[in-house]
Chain A
């Protein structure tokens, strides 16, 4: 079920959650179960799309990200599966 949707070598990737706030990066791939992966991709989180973390909710989870010019909130559990590259 779990497979990275990425063509980049793993060495150039880092988990999205390791990015500092408002640091832009490109999505390298999503290591998530198929269902969630396609859902996030349909929301615009496709490989190559620019993404940044805007803020954390007051209680630390979920997070707010910006992708394709809009704001999306997702829980850390899913965000952990987002790999970014091009740092």
Chain B
């Protein structure tokens, strides 16, 4: 994906590094605009973002947006990628020849920690001192010239959201000969000595071996154990070096961190002036927004606003897309001669593609709201407030928003799980997201409630719906708990959540992200969904009925492969109380739950003729009898079906998006298998247990 960008030998490779929340991506977006390519690093689900921009003399440069990290001592796949790129270890990226270290001026001390590590890499570096305007407003004055001298690299003050300082940044990056840092942060002599000794024993080139040795020296035992499989010699040498340091009374893990912060303390003393400003605006906002009572109310209101915003604003465009797809397939049916090809286009391809694009408005809106929440700083507060609840099942406060979004649609919800940094927490969130009741289940629920209790009041029906929503939530949290206790157990997952000051979000930056992420979704998901829709179409359309037989649509369906599959799985679903016709419904709704209702309508039209043309589907289903004369849709069968749809993952778009987000088929297949099994067990328990208790 990045081949075209990286192939030219004269192209300068610049990497942007920085802490999360430092405005790194805003600078990246401002420099490259929409000239960016987003993919994945091979083997991991970390976003690989490269863009192109042009220097002061029009020379093209490749700009790589590294994942945000607090330290090169990697603890997550994202951080490992950033470290590996900077050490030239990733196959898809050459080692960058220049580093732009983005530093948040309002939070200089902690941001300089990563800068200290970057300077140890010895690569030519520019510091982009971002958000200088905010810093001034908070009474922080930074002497840029002095800072430049202290750090030994150029420092450019920038306000990325307003584009200030970007010209200067481009100018300095356009310089042909770029100087390496003139200084290095001091480190304890014993550490430096051991790092040099260790570097000599590493196979890497000398300029990489030293920073690599520094990172190795401060690895803890467990990380070294993991590494021992790949590189036993280096690990042995590291352990020996750590042993020598400990014998001298130097803690190999902490002393370098302490030395770096001592250096930072000195740098800041000489370059930063702080005026006491009293309570900041952010603090006053937080008095309300994280207040015990008001905080909760605002939170509920904000979530409701987002939830309904996604729904209401996306509703009309979704309707248009749906109608557009419908119109297109009708047009094809009318204008092409009857053939398999026509049926393929009109009944397979167009509904398939329509089924994907119909999510676009929701996805765009979700990214808009997520962008607002994230860039304003409220997302961190939401996680702060919800962490206690999520911790109960072993999750993190940040999992809350993806799960909430999944009530609207699991597709954007799963995509929102990207904000969960811990890999295992993110996987657990993705795995349980489809259990949140999405609107696609509503047609099925509505139909089954009507069949179960045709005369029930609206209130009773609403109560049943609420119970189904709650059942989904309980199942999701239970499953999360099981996952976090077993396969996704993470060692001492701890919460370390930065609460950045509230900021005015940049609409431009949010817009760029919306377009870029939606485009990626379309490209990846579209192709797979198209292929599987065609497969499902073929199952329902073949074998072709004999045109002489003049079969009705229902009879044709019952003789198709889908109909045969329905009969074939009948033994498996009989214990749930279902017959083969319901089986056809289950199979046809594998791609999308709401298809169940349409399939039932087709299936029951066969017998429906005898009941009069105006009989509704509900009445036909209620009147449906088994061969022995007992009703098919007994109360137990209705409840069993509802439970099945609470738990089953009948949504192709979700499967595909999980595949995309986890970068392998392993998790989506496991998820489908697991949720279908759960659905079967749940329906089985309802039907068989109910019969044992004397219900029918």
A36–B220 CA distance with the chains assembled, in angstroms: 10
When distances are taken between beta carbons in the complex, the residues of chain A under 8 Å from B109 are: 44, 68-70
Name the residue of chain A whose CB is nearest to the CB of B283: A54
- In the complex, are the beta carbons of B254 and A35 less than 8 A apart? no
- In the complex, are the beta carbons of A73 and B71 less than 8 A apart? no
In the complex, which of the residues B70, B261, B500 contacts A71, with contact meaning CB atoms closer than 8 Å?
B500
In the complex, which of the residues A37, A41, A57 contacts B385, with contact meaning CB atoms closer than 8 Å?
A57
Chain A proximity mask over B297-341: 1 for CB below 8 Å, otherwise 0: 000000000000000000000000000000000000000000000
When distances are taken between beta carbons in the complex, the residues of chain A under 8 Å from B494 are: 36, 39, 74-75, 77-78
Name the residue of chain B whose CB is nearest to the CB of A38: B253
Q: How far is the CB of B19 from chain A (nearest CB, A)?
A: 10
- In the complex, are the beta carbons of A42 and B286 less than 8 A apart? no
Total A-B contacts with CB atoms under 8 angstroms apart: 117
* A72/B498 contact (C-beta < 8 A), A38-B220, A41-B257, A41-B258 known: yes
* A38/B73 contact (C-beta < 8 A), A47-B258, A55-B290 known: yes
Q: How far is the CB of A86 from chain B (nearest CB, A)?
A: 16
When distances are taken between beta carbons in the complex, the residues of chain B under 8 Å from A73 are: 380, 383-384, 387, 495-499
- In the complex, are the beta carbons of A58 and B258 less than 8 A apart? no
Q: How far is the CB of A81 from chain B (nearest CB, A)?
A: 10
For this complex, into which size category does the number of interface residues on chain B fall? 35 or more
In the complex, which of the residues B71, B221, B291, B296 contacts A42, with contact meaning CB atoms closer than 8 Å?
B71
> Within 8 Å of chain B (Cβ to Cβ): is A62?
yes
- In the complex, are the beta carbons of A46 and B296 less than 8 A apart? no
A36–B257 CA distance with the chains assembled, in angstroms: 13
For this complex, into which size category does the number of interface residues on chain A fall? 35 or more
Name the residue of chain B whose CB is nearest to the CB of A58: B292
- In the complex, are the beta carbons of B499 and A33 less than 8 A apart? no
Q: How far is the CB of A7 from chain B (nearest CB, A)?
A: 11
When distances are taken between beta carbons in the complex, the residues of chain B under 8 Å from A57 are: 290, 384-385, 387-388
> Within 8 Å of chain B (Cβ to Cβ): is A40?
yes
Q: Which of B194-251 contact A (CB under 8 A)?
A: 218, 220-222, 251
A34–B257 CA distance with the chains assembled, in angstroms: 13
> Within 8 Å of chain A (Cβ to Cβ): is B667?
no
> Within 8 Å of chain B (Cβ to Cβ): is A59?
yes
When distances are taken between beta carbons in the complex, the residues of chain B under 8 Å from A71 are: 498-501
Q: How far is the CB of B237 from chain A (nearest CB, A)?
A: 20
When distances are taken between beta carbons in the complex, the residues of chain B under 8 Å from A46 are: 257-258, 261
- In the complex, are the beta carbons of A38 and B254 less than 8 A apart? yes
Q: How far is the CB of B219 from chain A (nearest CB, A)?
A: 9
**Which 3 residue pairs across A and B have the least CB separation, nearest first?**
A59-B388, A71-B499, A68-B109
Chain B residues near A (Cβ < 8 Å): 70-71, 73, 75, 106-110, 113, 140, 218, 220-222, 251, 253-254, 257-258, 261, 283, 286, 290-292, 295-296, 380, 383-385, 387-389, 391, 397, 492, 494-501
